[in-house]
Amino acid sequence: MAAEIDRPVEHDLTPSAAPPSEAPFVNRRDPAKALGPDGRPQVSRRAPKWADVPDEKWDDWRWQLSNRVNELHEIEEVLDLTDEEREGLSAPDKFRVDITPYFISLIDPHDPDDPIRRQVIPLGREQQAFTAMMEDSLAEDRHSPVPGLVHRYPDRVLMLVTTQCASYCRYCTRSRIVGDPTQNFNRKDHEAQLEYLRRTPQVRDVLISGGDGLTLAPKLFESILRGLREIQHIEIVRIGSRVPVFLPQRVDDELCAMLEKYHPLWINLHFNHASEITPEVSRAVDKLTRAGLPVGNQSVLLAGVNDCVNVQRELIHKLVENRVRPYYLYQCDLVEGSGHFRTPVGKGLEIIEGLRGHTSGYAVPTYVIDAPGGGGKIPVMPNYLISYSDHKVVLRNYEGYITTYEEPLEYRQHDKQSCRSCQQTRPEPGQSGVHGLLQGERMWIEPKGFEEIHSRGNVDAHRLQRPDKWVPYGVGAIEGQARTLPVLAAGGNGGGQLDDSMLPTERAATDTNAGIVDTETLVPEEQRDRSYGPGEEPRPREGEPTASAHGELL
Ligand SMILES: *Cc1c(COP(=O)(O)O)cnc(C)c1O
Ligand code: SF4
């Protein structure tokens, strides 16, 4: 058969196969090409306050920035304010308010629940404290080797280049510094950040954020990009910006021509609701993609703004229509001012459950909780993996249909010795985490302070080492009738301490280092405690402090 195909197949390329020449095809489905009723590029609503501003000014990002509204009396000219909004706007120590004329014009002046409005107009409630509220909930300051540079992950850093934004989001996770001109970063800080990066070759990815780098003077922003690009070990640079949302006018040809010089460059925007994606935004995003930047989106799950699977679906569909890839959906941080925006985590899971499988995979963001205290972003997923045996994986799909995947019977283990990638991999000392367990580097990870307790021989400090702290109180145990277990039941794992008062059998069992001690075989029949049965677990007494890794958090 192969011999028959001995020359390339010729396609018929004669002009008669092409449509007759006529006006070039215009794709009206492209949101960046949407036309208004006047046949000109479509524009968003403009509040009456600015009706007389000439288009050249309105479309000029500098005019937009210098005409932002922040005082109650100015905002009142645009929106019908509620009493609680007046209270929020009058609060003396509030997080900065500043809204571009373009963005506030998108708000329905008569709808107090408008999703755009809720993001930028403060409410009195913003001042209320809540349990676990923190100023710097992600402990960014603690993870900053130099001011503004957060080095939390092994291979990438967050570089805060300014505290200024085009407008201010009420739930901002960095409200401790953002909006405050007295805490701004200057050229000297940028130089110190760059110097740290020059000396830190494990960093291959730099995320520029703030504040919002795109609010910086164009020359200054470019000098930062150039500084980064002069560092050979930095592979990619990412920009996190809300400027294209608050101020799409800023994304002009000049900016895109500048950005293009510093590839590979990625950008993540921040839309929370479909109504933020206007014709102006579509054109700005189109320019960014033409300049070769992959565009992503990060949303925050906000009560009263987007805590609904249908609102989220509309948002992500509009994003992908604009070639923006949904990246993260963040659980609202435990930051001052965000109390009334918080939703239960179950709401986020419900949203992901309603998206995954129900729509295109690349439209579904990863739902993450940015760990309070600074552990990094933790993905939170509904369970699709039901069970797992030595040869079958049991799965369920988005409809609840249950299926199985058969594992290969023979799988030749990957040979690390002959694998170039394995041999070249950079070590991550002390940071290999669960991956380290899978790689066989360690067998367990101990709770913080565990080793210290062992090395000091301070057995009292650890509940697992104190038999008298264990009472049988399992399923079926009768409260109040529980008695202290014989000493051996408290073996725990990791090997116990030897005690002279122990019976020889107890000594032997404790000394094995082999893990949980089998009380059934070691304790004579008449001494066995029968107040809990097989499968029932001893639990600490009520009010007893536990040293368990998870229990203490609850
Ligand atoms: C979000 C973040 C990053 C980037 O994380 P990715 O998951 O790679 O997007 C890096 N450093 C810090 C401190 C961050 O908060
Ligand atoms: S744009 Fe980002 S940094 Fe600026 S106020 Fe909003 S959330 Fe905070």
User: Is the pLDDT assigned to residue 394 strictly greater than 50?
Assistant: yes
Instruction: Tell me the three state secondary structure of residue 38.
Output: coil
User: What are the backbone dihedrals phi and psi of residue 115, each rounded to the nearest 5 degrees, phi first?
Assistant: -65, -30
- Give the CA distances from residue 239 to residues 150, 295, 511, 538, in Å, rounded to whole numbers and listed in that order: 15, 10, 56, 52
The answer to whether 154 touches 205, Cβ cutoff 8 Å, is no
* Closest residue to atom 12 of ligand 1, CA basis: 158
The tens digit of pLDDT for each residue in 332-365 reads 999 999 999 999 999 999 999 999 999 999 999 9
**What is the spatial distance between Cα 59 and Cα 40, in angstroms, rounded to a whole number?**
14
Element (H, E) at 414: none
**Position in ligand 1 atom list of the atom nearest CA 370:** 15
**209 CB-contact burial (10 Å; exposed 0-12 / middle 13-18 / buried 19+):** buried
User: How open is the CA angle 263-322-328, to the nearest 5 degrees?
Assistant: 70
User: What are the backbone dihedrals phi and psi of residue 15, each rounded to the nearest 5 degrees, phi first?
Assistant: -55, -30
Whether 411 is in a domain gets the answer yes
Residues 347 and 439 in one domain: no
Whole-number CA gyration radius for the chain: 30
> pTM of the prediction?
0.81
Tell which wins on pLDDT, 548 or 554: 554
How far is Cα of residue 90 from the mean position of the Cα atoms in its chain? Answer: 32
Query: Which residues span the domain enclosing 479?
Result: 463-554
Please, what sign has the CA dihedral across residues 515, 519, 520, 524?
positive
Going from the Cα of 187 to the center of ligand 2, the distance in angstroms, rounded, reads 21
DSSP calls for 273-314: SGGG--HHHHHHHHHHHHTT--EEEEEE--TTTT-SHHHHHH
Going from the Cα of 158 to the center of ligand 1, the distance in angstroms, rounded, reads 6
The answer to whether 99 touches 167, Cβ cutoff 8 Å, is yes
Instruction: Tell me the three state secondary structure of residue 254.
Output: helix
Count Cα atoms within 13 angstroms, Cβ side, for 153.
Answer: 15
Element (H, E) at 367: strand 366-370
Going from the Cα of 298 to the center of ligand 2, the distance in angstroms, rounded, reads 12
- Report pLDDT for 542: 61
Ligand positioned closest to the Cα atom of 103: 2
User: What are the backbone dihedrals phi and psi of residue 171, each rounded to the nearest 5 degrees, phi first?
Assistant: -95, 10
Which distant-in-sequence residues (6+ apart) come within 8 Å of 514 by Cβ? 495
Residues 406 and 448 in one domain: no
Mean pLDDT of the chain: 84
User: Among all chains, which residue has been given the structure tokens 């008062």?
Assistant: 501
**Catalytic annotation, residues:** 152-153, 156, 165, 169, 172, 174, 333, 370, 377
- Report pLDDT for 442: 74
- Report pLDDT for 4: 59
The answer to whether 262 touches 299, Cβ cutoff 8 Å, is no
**What is the spatial distance between Cα 148 and Cα 1, in angstroms, rounded to a whole number?**
66
- Report pLDDT for 520: 42
Whether 2 is in a domain gets the answer no
* Closest residue to atom 7 of ligand 1, CA basis: 377
**Position in ligand 1 atom list of the atom nearest CA 268:** 9
In the chain, the number of structural domains is: 4
205, 367, 377, 431, best to mutate for ligand 1 pocket (most atoms within 8 Å of CB): 377
Going from the Cα of 138 to the center of ligand 1, the distance in angstroms, rounded, reads 11
Beta-bridge mates of residue 402: 396
Residues 285 and 258 in one domain: yes
136, 138, 144, 158, best to mutate for ligand 1 pocket (most atoms within 8 Å of CB): 158
Tell which wins on pLDDT, 6 or 333: 333
Ligand 1: lining residues by beta carbon, under 6 Å: 150, 152-153, 156, 158, 207, 377
Least confident of 164-168, 320-324, 447-451, 526-530: 526-530
**What is the spatial distance between Cα 306 and Cα 310, in angstroms, rounded to a whole number?**
9
Residues 433 and 506 in one domain: no
The two tokens of residue 191 are 């130089």
The two tokens of residue 98 are 């500043």
- Report pLDDT for 241: 98
The answer to whether 470 touches 496, Cβ cutoff 8 Å, is no
- Report pLDDT for 26: 87
Residue 367: name the closest of 382, 389, 384, 387 by CA. 382
Q: Which long-range contacts (CB under 8 A, 24 or more apart) does 389-397 make?
A: 397/357
Q: How many CB atoms lie within 10 A of CB 479?
A: 8
Whether 101 is in a domain gets the answer yes
- Report pLDDT for 366: 98
The tens digit of pLDDT for each residue in 521-551 reads 444 555 544 454 545 545 555 665 454 555 5
User: Is the pLDDT assigned to residue 468 strictly greater than 70?
Assistant: no
- Report pLDDT for 299: 98
Angle at which helix 218-229 crosses helix 187-198, to 10 degrees, equals 10
Least confident of 22-31, 93-102, 413-422, 483-492: 483-492
**441 CB-contact burial (10 Å; exposed 0-12 / middle 13-18 / buried 19+):** exposed
User: Is the pLDDT assigned to residue 516 strictly greater than 60?
Assistant: no
Going from the Cα of 168 to the center of ligand 2, the distance in angstroms, rounded, reads 6
* Closest residue to atom 5 of ligand 1, CA basis: 377
Residues 435 and 421 in one domain: no
User: Is the pLDDT assigned to residue 133 strictly greater than 50?
Assistant: yes
Mean pLDDT, residues 131-144 taken together: 92
Tell which wins on pLDDT, 197 or 484: 197
Please, what sign has the CA dihedral across residues 547, 552, 553, 554?
positive
User: Is the pLDDT assigned to residue 461 strictly greater than 80?
Assistant: no
Which distant-in-sequence residues (6+ apart) come within 8 Å of 327 by Cβ? 268, 296, 297, 298, 365, 366
Query: Which residue, of 127, 157, 187, is where some domain finishes?
Result: 127
Least confident of 221-235, 263-277, 305-319, 469-483: 469-483
* Closest residue to atom 2 of ligand 1, CA basis: 158
Ligand 2 within 6 A of CB of 178: yes
Least confident of 28-42, 341-355, 484-498: 484-498
Whether 98 is in a domain gets the answer yes
Which distant-in-sequence residues (6+ apart) come within 8 Å of 425 by Cβ? none
What is the percent of the chain where pLDDT is above 90? 69
How would residue 438 be classed by pLDDT, with cut points 50, 70 and 90? Answer: confident
How would residue 210 be classed by pLDDT, with cut points 50, 70 and 90? Answer: confident
User: Among all chains, which residue has been given the structure tokens 């003077």?
Assistant: 217
Residues 292 and 250 in one domain: yes
Query: Which residue, of 72, 96, 127, is where some domain finishes?
Result: 127
Whether 260 is in a domain gets the answer yes
Least confident of 253-267, 297-311, 381-395, 513-527: 513-527
User: Among all chains, which residue has been given the structure tokens 């018929």?
Assistant: 12
Residue 342: name the closest of 125, 554, 138, 176 by CA. 125
Residues 169 and 111 in one domain: no
Whether 25 is in a domain gets the answer no
Ligand positioned closest to the Cα atom of 174: 2
Residues 81 and 41 in one domain: yes
**What is the spatial distance between Cα 352 and Cα 346, in angstroms, rounded to a whole number?**
10
**What is the spatial distance between Cα 161 and Cα 230, in angstroms, rounded to a whole number?**
17
Beta-bridge mates of residue 465: none
**What is the spatial distance between Cα 341 and Cα 333, in angstroms, rounded to a whole number?**
9
Residues 263 and 180 in one domain: yes
- Count Cβ neighbours within 10 Å for each residue of 338-373 and write b for 16 or more, e otherwise: bbbbbbeeeebebbbbbbbeebeeebbbebbbbeee
Query: Which residue, of 99, 127, 155, is where some domain finishes?
Result: 127
The tens digit of pLDDT for each residue in 399-411 reads 999 999 999 999 9
Residues 473 and 410 in one domain: no
How would residue 150 be classed by pLDDT, with cut points 50, 70 and 90? Answer: very high
**What is the spatial distance between Cα 173 and Cα 210, in angstroms, rounded to a whole number?**
11
The two tokens of residue 392 are 């079958």
Residues 330 and 183 in one domain: yes
- Report pLDDT for 488: 37
Ligand 2 within 6 A of CB of 337: no
Residues 398 and 469 in one domain: no
Whether 5 is in a domain gets the answer no
Beta strands in 108-232 (DSSP E): 149-150, 156-160, 205-209
Whether 90 is in a domain gets the answer yes
Residue type, 373: G
Where residue 148 sits, what CATH number does that domain have? Answer: 3.20.20.70
